[in-house]
A = this chain, B = another copy of it.
Amino acid sequence: MESKRRVTIREVAERAGVSMATASRALSGNHPVPAATRARVLRAARDLDYVANAHARALVGGGRKMAAVVVRQVTSPFYAQVAEGVEAEAADRGWLCVVGATGGDPQREMEFVQLMREEGARLVILVGGVVEDDAYRERVTHYAQALDATGARLVLCGRPAPDPDIPALVVEFDNEAGARAITGHLLSAGHRRIVFLGGLPGNTALDARVAGYRAALAEHGLPAEAAHVVDCGLGRAAGLRAMAELLKETREFTAVFAGDDMVAAGALRAIADAGLTVPDDMSVVGYNDIPLAEDFNPPLTTVRTPAEELGRAAVRIALRDPEHAAGSHHLLGTHIVVRRSVGAPPEGSH
């Protein structure tokens, strides 16, 4: 058990026959040290398999920069991609990246942010839509101020800042525009009775998509009553269940706009189970263009939200010109990718 101690710089210094200070300087290379001594120190470090103690280093100020991404779950393809983007951009800059999963629980989110404060993270990125209630506003305001008080940055990805004046930065997709565009795509194909499947009242991301959907309907001269949104929330299981129920109740629609691709996956399955075929009997579109959306049956027409780029942008923007960034709001564009899940409405459906 004597051996369970890490090799310290003191041992390296002794072996190299120099002082700790010199060893430190040789190792970090930020201070001139004669090549010969330097080599001796490096050699000793290698022989001993020395690794610096990051905590000691952090304590004295020269610590490694750390970024944290917080998502609901890493197994969601969309969140995974965002996390990968953050990870990649952080790695490019030599930063360490920690990812935390909350399962959607505000409590766990708070604990994780707290933890990151303790660990001295310089950048905390919260990802994903939320219901924007008072509790949310209070929580985020607190995060922002606490983080800012120590010079750390907070970025909100796909969720709103409670107040434009708090020291946080938001980066998100233009959900309303994306939803408007894909609804327009359905409308252009001739559909008039389109249901939006996957509403989540209060959730900022979904509300924006619903708004875009309504706007597109209105632009095409449809009355407000033409909108039909089913608030089943997100996830494959929710989409499957809601779609199945809807098909039992009514067939008074020819297309479905799913809140995201996972909902679309569930809807597709429910439609097939009902003996209908897509797109002949029913058209379906999704949102996010996750990898594998093209492997659905049929390949899914959806709106592409470059998730990895969202992650990269979050760190890039936060780290560039920090003073100016605070309070700023960045909107990333999206576009439709057309595959095979949209067709003309079936004959006689009007």
**Pairwise interchain contact B150-A6, C-beta atoms closer than 8 A:** yes
Among candidates B64, B87, B118, residue contacting A74 with C-beta atoms closer than 8 Å: B87
**Pairwise interchain contact A77-B75, C-beta atoms closer than 8 A:** yes
Known: A75-B77, A150-B6, A265-B295. A114 touches B55 (CB 8 A): no
Report the nearest B residue to A300, measured CB to CB.
B295
List B contacts of A97 (CB < 8 A).
98, 100
List B contacts of A291 (CB < 8 A).
75, 236
A106 vs chain B, min Cβ distance (A): 15
**Pairwise interchain contact B297-A298, C-beta atoms closer than 8 A:** yes
Measured CA separation A75–B290 after assembly (Å): 10
Among candidates B84, B98, B118, residue contacting A73 with C-beta atoms closer than 8 Å: B84
**Pairwise interchain contact B101-A84, C-beta atoms closer than 8 A:** yes
Measured CA separation A328–B65 after assembly (Å): 36
In the assembled complex, A248 has its CB within 8 A of some CB on chain B: no
Copies in the complex: 2
Measured CA separation A149–B50 after assembly (Å): 11
A290 vs chain B, min Cβ distance (A): 8
List B contacts of A296 (CB < 8 A).
295-297
Report the count of interface residues on A (CB-CB < 8 A).
57
In the assembled complex, A165 has its CB within 8 A of some CB on chain B: no
Measured CA separation A87–B146 after assembly (Å): 26
Among candidates B63, B117, B295, residue contacting A269 with C-beta atoms closer than 8 Å: B295
In the assembled complex, A119 has its CB within 8 A of some CB on chain B: yes
**Pairwise interchain contact B54-A118, C-beta atoms closer than 8 A:** yes
A interface residues with partner B (beta carbon < 8 Å): 3-6, 49, 51-59, 63-64, 73-75, 77, 80-81, 83-84, 87-88, 91, 96-101, 108, 114-115, 117-120, 142, 146, 149-151, 236, 265, 268-269, 291-292, 294-298, 308
- A55-B59, A73-B84, A75-B84 are known; give 4 further A-B pairs, CB within 8 A: A51-B118, A84-B101, A265-B292, A297-B298
Interchain residue pairs A-B with the least CB separation, the first 3: A297-B297, A54-B118, A55-B58
